[in-house]
Amino acid sequence: MKFSYLFSFLLLASHVIGQLPTPPDIWKNFNPDAGDFREEIIQEETRDGIYRKQSYISAYHLGEEVRVYCKYAVKADTKNAPGLMDVHGWMGAPSPDNGFVNEGWAVMAHDYCGKTGNRQHFTKYPPRLSYGNMEKPRSENIISRMPDGSELTDPKQTQDYLWYAIQRRVLSYLLAQKEVDPNRIGAKGYSYGGTIMWNLGMDPRVKAIVAYFGVGWLEYYRTRGVWMYDPGKAAPALHPGEKLYLSAVAPQAHAPYITAASLWLNGTNDHHGGHERGEETFKNFSPDVPWSFAHQPRGHHDTQDIGHNTKLWLDKHVLGKDIEWPGQAASRIVLGKDGVPDLHIIPESPDQVDSLQMFYALKNPISFGRSWREVQTVRKDGKWVGKMPVLIVDDYVVEFLRCQENMKNDRVAAITAAVPSKF
């Protein structure tokens, strides 16, 4: 069986925020099971052996009721099926992943986009929570500032908190389905669904999550152009609302409290978030929580070459299948005798590597703007070496590699990514 994976170093660049609330502080009194679902089934059918249901349920936030539109699919007459939360991206709509349904999973997808276009069914936010609708003027967003421009003072007022609360409520609804095994629950989110996935990873009912693209580090870092590798540029001061959001609401703030095995899939040139800081998120995970990540070479909003790892990750950490996930490769950059930097890579299982590609980019602080160059590699006793010519020796380069590996016994390689290095 052939798998793809990427390797490199991780660097730690933490931001100390001080004594501000953390995610557990703002969720300690939240009960996703509280209140009647008030389920309204608007369509259900069994066709080709698959039971499908569309419905509205109630979620509750700040004393208001939200009518959440859900789609559910499972093989007919299934018992004790593993459950999967399938969360759409920005301006998306719910669509249960049929691949998982056909594999025997009970899949729940829900809408959190709200009213947009001519959609017949969508989640209905009351006027007080209208900021939950994605299709609204940018000025109505509630992230680190309120619509009137004042600073955020309550994390529960943010649109992210609202969307977090809705998906946790829908998780309760998934667990209430008669076909579902409550002890085998996974979740995956695409794009902004990946952004809000990290909060779901803190929910003890979830065994494993997969986040596509969304990883946080948007507010302040992306919105104000605070790039990780931008020598000589001073970072702007955080305003109070940003401090509060980054401490209690931002995806990366959840890292120390996540209990679900977490996989992040991304493209090297995707626009969503601060990718290199996304790698830093895992430095704050509890040591006993499994994690992994990958960037698809030259990928934008595209993971077609690494997306197969989603099912393997969920099979391993939700279903308990015996899938070995090797660790990271050793990686270092050295200056060759010819004055050209060499990239040295030692995979954990070098004898199982079928092919290996190296890529590097010259200095550019904006991760999604980099131009990736392929590197010719030479194998020497379980180590791969590639040359990375540069224009200015005082600048940094960014490197990563992609391996194709023939693994036995359905094993999959660990997935990591790349950071800039100086030599």
Residues with Cβ within 8 Å of 193's Cβ and at least 6 positions away in sequence, in order, are 87, 88, 89, 92, 211, 212, 214
Distance separating alpha carbons of residues 198 and 218, to the nearest angstrom: 14
Which tokens in the block code for residue 305? 């070459």
Helix (H, G, I), strand (E, B) or coil at 165: helix
Distance separating alpha carbons of residues 87 and 89, to the nearest angstrom: 7
Residue corresponding to tokens 């299948």: 321
Spatial strand order in the sheet of 64-75 = 40-47, 50-61, 64-75, 106-110, 81-87, 180-191, 208-213, 261-267, 291-296
Phi, psi of 126 (to 5 degrees): -70, 160
Pairing state between β 64-75 and 50-61: antiparallel
Q: What is the DSSP-derived secondary structure letter of residue 410?
A: T
- The CB density around residue 79, as the number of other CB atoms within 10 Å, is 8
Burial class (CB in 10 A: 0-12, 13-18, 19+), 248: buried
Q: What is the DSSP string of 17-77?
A: --S---HHHHHTT--TT-S----EEEEEEEETTEEEEEEEEEEEETTEEEEEEEEEEEETT
Domains of the chain: 2-317 (3.40.50.1820), 330-421 (2.60.40.10)
C-alpha distances in Å from residue 290, one per residue of 147, 183, 249, 329, 387: 39, 18, 22, 16, 33
C-beta separation of 125 from 133 below 8 A: yes
Burial 208-242 (b: 16+ CB within 10 A, else e): bbbbbbbbbbbbbbbeeebbbbeeeeeeeebeebb
3-state helix, strand, coil in the chain (%, to 5): 20, 30, 50
Handedness of CA 270, 273, 274, 275 (dihedral sign): negative
- The CB density around residue 92, as the number of other CB atoms within 10 Å, is 18
C-beta separation of 311 from 281 below 8 A: no
C-beta separation of 172 from 180 below 8 A: no
Residue corresponding to tokens 């986040």: 211
C-beta separation of 196 from 251 below 8 A: yes
Burial 100-130 (b: 16+ CB within 10 A, else e): bbebebbbbbbbbbbbeeeeebbbbbeeebe
- pLDDT tens-place values along the chain, 423 residues long: 333 333 222 222 333 344 899 999 999 999 999 999 999 999 999 999 999 999 999 999 999 999 999 999 999 999 999 999 999 999 999 999 999 999 999 999 999 999 999 999 999 999 999 999 999 998 899 999 999 999 999 999 999 999 999 999 999 999 999 999 999 999 999 999 999 999 999 999 999 999 999 999 999 999 999 998 887 789 999 999 999 999 999 999 999 999 999 999 998 888 876 678 888 999 999 999 999 988 888 888 888 888 999 999 999 999 999 998 877 778 888 888 888 888 888 888 888 777 788 888 888 888 888 888 988 889 988 899 999 888 876 777 776 655 545 433 333 333 333 334 443
Distance separating alpha carbons of residues 388 and 366, to the nearest angstrom: 20
Pairing state between β 353-362 and 373-375: antiparallel
